[in-house]
Amino acid sequence: MDNISHLNVTREKEIVLSKGISQQSIDVIKASASCITSNDVQISSRMYEILFEKYPKMQMLFANSPKNQHMKLANAISSYAVNIEKIHVLFPALEVIAISHVREDVKPAHYPLIGRAFIEAIEDVLGDDASMELLDAWREVYKYIADILIEMEEKLYLKQKEREK
């Protein structure tokens, strides 16, 4: 995996699961899961449009992304929605994402930009169905997932730095 080793997923789960997502957000995400999953491709495609329109330099991070990157994001969005109460089952996939992010030099400062584009995309695609409650719940979930990835990536960057010594 390009000199980037796997993380100790069990240990990572213990660290981030203690942070949690509010029950209110879990309930909102669960209630909206079918709406989100049926629009996941449109949301992910729109997210990239917004991201690249507002932050053109972000395109560099995706220069080596596969052509189906928007489909990967769509699948991730649906997975988060469906597994909101058991997010720990997503840790192996999050580990793969973290490894990819380190390979592409994603930094913590990139996450808020992507998060804003993601929430705006939900709002654009769902229209009137994108209540403030739904958007707030997805903001919380996005921040939670972003924090998990940032933590994983920090550990990978440290391991990478240690190898370079």
Question: What is the token pair recorded at 18?
Answer: 């203690």
Residue 7 confidence (pLDDT) above 50: no
Residue-wise pLDDT for 56-101, tens only, equals 999 998 888 888 888 988 998 999 999 988 888 888 989 999 999 9
CA dihedral 99, 19, 147, 14 (to 10 degrees): -10
pLDDT category of residue 164 using cuts at 50, 70 and 90: confident
Domains and CATH numbers, the chain: 9-164 (1.10.490.10)
Nearest one of 46, 5, 59 to 130, comparing CA atoms: 46
Is 144 a catalytic site residue?
A: no
pLDDT category of residue 162 using cuts at 50, 70 and 90: confident
Residue-wise pLDDT for 104-161, tens only, equals 899 999 999 999 999 999 999 999 999 999 999 999 999 999 999 999 999 999 998 8
Which pLDDT belongs to residue 19?
60
Nearest one of 117, 106, 101 to 52, comparing CA atoms: 117
Is 120 a catalytic site residue?
A: no
- Catalytic pick from 12, 95, 123, 153? 153
Which pLDDT belongs to residue 9?
43
pTM of the entire predicted model = 0.85
For residues 140 and 22, the answer to whether their CB atoms sit within 8 Å is yes
- Catalytic pick from 48, 80, 111, 142? 111
